[in-house]
Amino acid sequence: MNRICFAGLVLVLAGCRSAKPPPPVPMPVAVAERNATQAAKLSAEGNWSGAAGAWERALSEYRLLNDRTNEAIALHNLGEAREQLGSLDSAHQLLEEAASINAARKADEQWWRNQIALLQIEAKAHQTNVLSERFARLESRSGNLKGTLRGLFLNERGLWQTGRREFEKADADYVEAFRLFAAVDDGPGMAAVISNEALLLERQEKFQAAADKWRDALARFEKMSNPLGIAISMLGRGRALVQAKQNAEEARDLLQRANRNFKTLHQESEASEAAELLKNLGQKS
C-alpha cells in the first residue's frame, strides 16, 4: 500500500515543435525506450514478474549506452518489482546501486526516492537496527525536503514511530504528511496516510475510531480504483470491528471479500490474516 511507484521517472522524448523533422532515434536507444515503456506499463498493472524481466532488459540496454540517468531509474524499478516478488535482499541491493548512481550525479530528488524505498524494504524485512540507522542518517538531511517528497518521508517516519510506540510523534508526522499531499491533490498519498493513521489508532486500541478511519481509506481507494488499497482497507476495517466487538456481520462480510481479493492479487500473507480473523468469528474462509 505504501509502495512508491517510480515508473513515472522513465524518460520519454519530447515532441519536436519546429517544422524540421526530428533526427531518427538510434536503434539501441529505441530498443531501450521500448523495453522501459513496456516495463513501466507492466509495473502499473501489478504484473511484477513480467515487469522484472522488462526492467532487466532495459537496465542492460541503458548500461550499454552508458546512460546513467536511465540506468538508475531501471535499477529502482527493478528493485520495486523484486520487492513485490518477495526477493527483498535483491531489491535492497538494486536500490542501493541506484542511490549510489544518483548520489554521484547529485540527483537529490531521485536519491531521496531511493532512500524512501530502502526504508520500506528494511521495515518489511524487520531489519530494526538497520532501519533505525538509516533514519538517523537521513534526519540530518531531511530539513530541506519539501512538498510530496517530504510527505513521503514523513509517512515512512510515522510508520517507524508507530512501531516504536512513539504515538504522538507518529500522529504529528501523519498530520503534516496529509497536509503536504492535500496541497497538491495527491490522492494516493492522502489515502496512504489515512490508512497509516488507522493502523496507529489500532495500536492505541482505539478500535472504533480505527474502523471509521479505515472506512475513509476504503472510500478513497475505491474512488481511485486501487485494488490492493481496497483489499487492505477492507481487511483493516474488518479487523478493527472485530477488535471493537462491533458489527460482526459487517466485519465477516468485509473479511470474506478481503480474503478473496488478496488471493486474486496473490497476496498470501494478507489472505491468511483475513482467514484467521474469519476463523475467530466462527466462519471458515
Q: Which residue has the cell 496507529?
A: 200
Residue 232 is predicted with a pLDDT of 97
Residues 119 and 98 in one domain: yes
Residues 189 and 285 in one domain: yes
pTM, rounded to two decimals: 0.86
Residue 19 is predicted with a pLDDT of 58
Residue 283 is predicted with a pLDDT of 53
Residues of the chain short of pLDDT 50, as ranges, are: 1-17, 284-285
Helix (H), strand (E) at residue 200 = helix 187-203
Final residue in a domain of this structure, among 97, 115, 136: 136
**What does 152-187 look like in DSSP terms, one character per residue?**
HHHHHHHHHHHHTT-HHHHHHHHHHHHHHHHHTT-H
Q: Has residue 218 been placed in a domain?
A: yes
Q: Has residue 151 been placed in a domain?
A: yes
Residues 128 and 52 in one domain: yes
Residue 279 is predicted with a pLDDT of 92
Contact 17, 11 (CB under 8 A): no
CATH number for the domain including 126?
1.25.40.10
Q: Has residue 189 been placed in a domain?
A: yes
Residues 119 and 151 in one domain: no
Q: Has residue 157 been placed in a domain?
A: yes
The set of residues, in sequence order, having a beta carbon less than 8 Å from that of 108 and lying 6+ positions away, is 102
Final residue in a domain of this structure, among 110, 136, 162: 136
Q: What angle do CA 35, 39, 42 make, to 5 degrees?
A: 140
- The number of folded domains in the chain is 2
Residue 4 is predicted with a pLDDT of 33
C-alpha cell at 178: 496529509
Q: What is the dihedral of CA 99, 100, 106, 112, to 10 degrees?
A: 20
The CA distance from 147 to 170, in Å, is 18
Tens digits of residue pLDDT in 127-154:
999 999 999 999 989 988 999 999 999 9
C-alpha cell at 56: 532487466
Q: Has residue 20 been placed in a domain?
A: no
C-alpha cell at 55: 526492467
Q: Has residue 222 been placed in a domain?
A: yes
Residues 265 and 188 in one domain: yes
Residues 202 and 232 in one domain: yes
Residues 167 and 283 in one domain: yes
Q: What is the dihedral of CA 230, 233, 239, 241, to 10 degrees?
A: -110
Tens digits of residue pLDDT in 35-61:
999 999 999 888 999 999 999 999 999
Q: Has residue 7 been placed in a domain?
A: no
Residue 15 is predicted with a pLDDT of 39
Q: Which residue has the cell 474512488?
A: 223
Q: Is 247 helix (H, G, I), strand (E, B) or coil?
A: coil
| Domain carrying residue 96 | 29-136
Q: What is the dihedral of CA 185, 143, 172, 190, to 10 degrees?
A: 20
Residues 34 and 150 in one domain: no
